Amino acid sequence: MKTLTYVSAKEITDLVWPEVSEATGLYSPATKVFTDFNTRIPRIIEPTLRADILVNVMKKEHVRMKLVVDADNKFIGVVSLEDLSDETFIKQAAQGYSREELLAIDVMRAKENLLALSYTSLKGVDVESLLFSQRENKYQHLLVVDEESQAIRGLVSAHDIIRQLKINVDLSRPTSFARLYEVITKDYANSRRLRVA
């Protein structure tokens, strides 16, 4: 075990402050609300994880979506807490499955059924334009693909946008991009701050 060194704080008067970046707003680059997998490790799960256990794992980790990867870490789909709702388990039970039999692969949205945003496209727009383009998106996560490397580069989360823009929305409940756009257009309609809408 290593020994730690302690010093007296009696003569210390200054604090170290981080470099302050400009607050994120509607006209900030959309990359400011982007979770980049070059700097943040993607949240992944195996397709064989039991769905009922996955619900608890995601709640414990405070995440609402995970990428599903095979044994070789190849992307095969996504699963969100929305996909793991009680309604999903009831529908599966009606088809003869028990709650303990369902796996992540049974409830995930396969990559063949997903649309993703081009990273090059994301780099060229502001947050408002991103939200406008997602105004009918019923999900709360949007995958971003790097077309050069043909890989999932990251994602955009409606909840991250809510946090960064400090929008008055209950974060304990799922919020889709469509709902977020609706809230923003109501909040900003009278202020004439929206350029696209």
Average pLDDT, 10 consecutive residues per value, the chain (197 residues): 91 83 89 97 97 94 96 97 86 83 94 96 96 95 96 96 90 87 79 51
DSSP state of 122: H
Looking at the domain assignment, is residue 197 inside a domain? no
- Residues in the chain, total: 197
* Half-sphere CA count of 30, side-chain side, radius 13 A: 25
Residue 193 covered by a domain = no
Tell me, what's the pLDDT at 193?
A: 55
Q: Is residue 148 part of a domain?
A: yes
Q: What confidence score (pLDDT) does residue 188 get?
A: 66
Q: What's the confidence (pLDDT) of residue 197? A: 44
177 domain-assigned: yes
The pLDDT value recorded for residue 192 is 52
Residue 54 lies in a domain: yes
pLDDT (0 to 100) of residue 90: 86
CATH number of the domain within which 83 lies: 3.10.580.10
Q: Give residue 22's pLDDT.
A: 78
Q: How many domains does the chain have?
A: 1
Q: Where are the alpha helices (DSSP H) in 62-147?
A: 86-94, 104-107, 119-123, 127-133
**Residue at 122 is within a domain:** yes
Q: b/e string for 75-112 if b means 16 or more Cβ within 10 A?
A: bbbbbbbbbbeeebbeebeeeeeeeeebbbbebbbebe
Q: What is the pLDDT of residue 23?
A: 86
Does any domain span residue 4?
no
Over the Cα atoms of the chain, what is R_g? Answer: 20
pLDDT score at 191 = 55
Q: Residue 177: give the domain boundaries.
A: 30-188
- Helix (H) or strand (E) segment spanning residue 154: strand 151-157
Q: Is residue 137 part of a domain?
A: yes
And the tokens for 157?
């989360």
Contacts of 133 by beta carbon, 8 Å cutoff, 6+ apart: 125
The DSSP code sequence of 19-50 is PPPPPP-TTSBGGGGEEETTTS---EE-TTSB
**Structure tokens belonging to residue 172:** 């304990």
Question: What per-residue confidence (pLDDT) applies to 96?
Answer: 84
